[in-house]
Structure 1
């Protein structure tokens, strides 16, 4: 009944445009009912429906412990139309673009909107910067390849140039004042806890598949790609929160808080969050805020300089590797560097030599995989109380709101400290 009412109302929008807000509210209610019916009770489908960490529909979804994704797992996903309306489809994580388009078309045809529409539809990812990626029909596992603040659109090929980012992605969000009330220790501990949940979900073979995958193979790297997304998200979150802080005094305090958060993450042996936070502080839109940086004091300036030294790429990141070698499990390493090492091995050594397998190359790859296994040979214990306050912080850390457009970040930066100052 709700579905029929929703689609009937959508058809009337062309005649009654003032109904736009009401139709949107009805759409959100329909989505909530649809997802709740599948995930509640003893429904046998419950264990198959899993939220991607950037697509939590309800707070209770992000508070549940993370589970590893498999290609057969099903997720809910919004797919937008050119008029910014959307439908919610349920799809396998490993579904091909052709299968996704068929699911969209089936849902539209159910209400008699289109016939054989899948032949005309194209799936497009639109980022907040306006950049578009047009997927091929045989592409697969597209859900975990979407960048931060990127959404899926379905349209005809003729309409691709008309696609624009969603309004909420191109507007300046307001800074989250909640971060000023959370201590550095709470932020760092929750970052580490979530980082560990994501990292332990990554199967060792995902590293190999990510580097060695061929054009004819289906990807099986969903959990690894989610970790890489999280790395980018934390960097952007740090820059976003600082640049949305209008008060110089509060901005200085926030800068010092993030420096402290990075130091605690390092103590927690969470090098993924540690380096992500430091890279966020080193974002060119943040590092140019001279009047802000000069007020943090010698102690925090020294602490940040020592943290930045770990990012020094000299001698193949020797400083970072020396510190990592002294850590005992459990450790959350900086995953992008592991992939860089494996990519170097793969591209610098031939897999076959004179029609024989290059076992030396295979041993080097195996050594890297064994290193990942060693990092996770002990379980990470994240002891946080279950109070309402801690649950609120946990939800905040797992649903970070960020600006991923570097041009927008620079606009905010120049607004805080113009060039001529």
Structure 2
């Protein structure tokens, strides 16, 4: 293809490749096939650069993008050694939870505890995308070098046990199970004979009422640390994870790890609010705690952190908390009215109109209520076919792209919070990033009835 027409086609091809690389960036490291294709195209374009001077600027940008996504052209180049990353729900050390969050990829390695029926455990190092069979292989290898009796890999099963006692048997071919565990769920390796004897860890079913860190920290400090942490998590979610989550479901787990973690964090904050209120035995202190959480919600809304705002309000709306009539009666009228306004804002009536009106007036940076974005995408996906008479439904894909572009808009500016370094700054930061919560609704109701048996 010589002449202007040939040059135009090459420029169009190069523009498409640049847009593809710019959109996918680091995700391409997980796709070997895509890497090979881009490598071949890159080498062909480099050959044409000397023939077409007009391609030079785009070729330079392509070279920079290729380096960014680490698609190293020389095959002898050794990949950098991978650093083991902590999952925020599995922190055991303060220094881990204080680290700035970075995006997870399926090939990343993590440490994870796998428990035995007697609640002893082995710690394994595993890829985030590891299959159940791979995890059991690592467990078996660990047991062979411990005092535990070694079991054959094929005789072990892997089970997710929730704090409620619910058990889910994981199939050998399932992968990416780490990011889909419930808040207080743990992995157990056992034989089929011992499956029925599995019970939650004692710390998940035994709670001790009393004063916790929430009583000692200022609402503004908690709200700002919530916003800062959730901004880190939100920034880690690639735009395509929203599409994969809705379009691919179970098959997209590897590509949606960061989104899964953000959704679980939202649930964790909701349960944290309910847990803190219900572990407070003194009615006066409980009322003060309700007041503090309403203040936290107000500051999160002011920070344009609607994810935290929603989570806190939903925690206060938990049936085990909302039934505490005597406690709510102690709340000053000003805060009762403010909370009613917050409930109206989170009301799903008329397709979440109140929320949509508020967020439409906000400018970046914004942390949206992510589950609603997924709800909208699910409606677009299930409401019309992707293929119509063998042709791609362009209108549907444009609508999906428009919705996903809102995520880009919300993150188009950096978050700048005025967070004064208080004497307990690091302690508060660590507390906010590793909540200890009760996610068993039956247990929450038990605590609620102990506090106010006759409330309606």
- Shorter-chain TM-score bucket reads 0.7 to 0.9
Alignment match of 2:102 (pick from 67, 71, 89): 67
State the 1:86 CA deviation.
0.2
Question: What residue in structure 2 maps to residue 267 of structure 1?
Answer: 302
Question: What residue in structure 2 maps to residue 376 of structure 1?
Answer: 411
Q: Per the alignment, do residues 103 and 187 of structure 1 end up closer, same or farther by CA in structure 2, a change over 3 Å counting? A: same
Question: What residue in structure 2 maps to residue 396 of structure 1?
Answer: 431
Question: What residue in structure 2 maps to residue 177 of structure 1?
Answer: 212
Measured in 2, the distance between the counterparts of 1:235 and 1:142 equals 23
Q: Per the alignment, do residues 265 and 94 of structure 1 end up closer, same or farther by CA in structure 2, a change over 3 Å counting? A: same
Alignment match of 2:321 (pick from 286, 296, 315): 286
Q: Per the alignment, do residues 374 and 91 of structure 1 end up closer, same or farther by CA in structure 2, a change over 3 Å counting? A: same
Alignment match of 1:82 (pick from 106, 109, 117): 117
Question: What SS does structure 2 have at the residue aligned with 1:369?
Answer: helix
State the 1:218 CA deviation.
5.4
Q: Per the alignment, do residues 143 and 160 of structure 1 end up closer, same or farther by CA in structure 2, a change over 3 Å counting? A: same
Gaps of 5+ in 1: 1-43
Question: What residue in structure 1 maps to residue 272 of structure 2?
Answer: 237
Measured in 2, the distance between the counterparts of 1:126 and 1:48 equals 28
C-alpha contact (below 8 Å) 1:210/1:219 kept by paired residues: no
State the 1:45 CA deviation.
8.4
State the 1:167 CA deviation.
0.8
Question: What residue in structure 2 maps to residue 98 of structure 1?
Answer: 133
Question: What residue in structure 2 maps to residue 191 of structure 1?
Answer: 226
Question: What SS does structure 2 have at the residue aligned with 1:66?
Answer: coil
C-alpha contact (below 8 Å) 1:59/1:395 kept by paired residues: yes
Measured in 2, the distance between the counterparts of 1:255 and 1:218 equals 37
Question: What SS does structure 1 have at the residue aligned with 2:254?
Answer: coil
State the 1:112 CA deviation.
8.2
Q: Deviations over 1:386-412 (max 9, x none)?
A: 555100000000011111111111111
The answer to whether structure 1 residue 132 and structure 2 residue 131 are counterparts is no
Alignment match of 1:295 (pick from 294, 307, 330): 330
Which protein has the larger Cα radius of gyration, Structure 1 or Structure 2?
Answer: 2
Measured in 2, the distance between the counterparts of 1:230 and 1:175 equals 24
Question: What SS does structure 2 have at the residue aligned with 1:54?
Answer: helix
Q: Per the alignment, do residues 115 and 45 of structure 1 end up closer, same or farther by CA in structure 2, a change over 3 Å counting? A: farther
C-alpha contact (below 8 Å) 1:79/1:151 kept by paired residues: yes
State the 1:52 CA deviation.
0.5
The answer to whether structure 1 residue 119 and structure 2 residue 167 are counterparts is no
Structure 1 runs (4+) deviating above 6 angstroms are: none
Alignment match of 1:304 (pick from 319, 336, 339): 339
The answer to whether structure 1 residue 208 and structure 2 residue 240 are counterparts is no
Q: Per the alignment, do residues 288 and 356 of structure 1 end up closer, same or farther by CA in structure 2, a change over 3 Å counting? A: same
State the 1:71 CA deviation.
0.8
Measured in 1, the distance between the counterparts of 2:207 and 2:250 equals 39
Measured in 2, the distance between the counterparts of 1:111 and 1:312 equals 54
Alignment match of 1:246 (pick from 260, 281, 284): 281
Q: Deviations over 1:274-311 (max 9, x none)?
A: 00000000000000010111111110011000001011
Give the alignment's Cα RMSD to 1 decimal.
1.7
Measured in 2, the distance between the counterparts of 1:303 and 1:101 equals 51
Question: What TM-score comes out, normalization by structure 1 length?
Answer: 0.87
Gaps of 5+ in 2: 1-78
Between 175-184 and 362-371, the greater mean CA deviation after superposition: 175-184
The answer to whether structure 1 residue 367 and structure 2 residue 412 are counterparts is no
Question: What residue in structure 2 maps to residue 315 of structure 1?
Answer: 350
User: Alignment length, in residue pairs?
Assistant: 378
The answer to whether structure 1 residue 357 and structure 2 residue 392 are counterparts is yes
Q: Deviations over 1:136-173 (max 9, x none)?
A: 11111100001111100001122111100011111013
Question: What SS does structure 2 have at the residue aligned with 1:310?
Answer: helix
C-alpha contact (below 8 Å) 2:323/2:455 kept by paired residues: no
Question: What residue in structure 1 maps to residue 369 of structure 2?
Answer: 334
Q: Per the alignment, do residues 346 and 241 of structure 1 end up closer, same or farther by CA in structure 2, a change over 3 Å counting? A: same
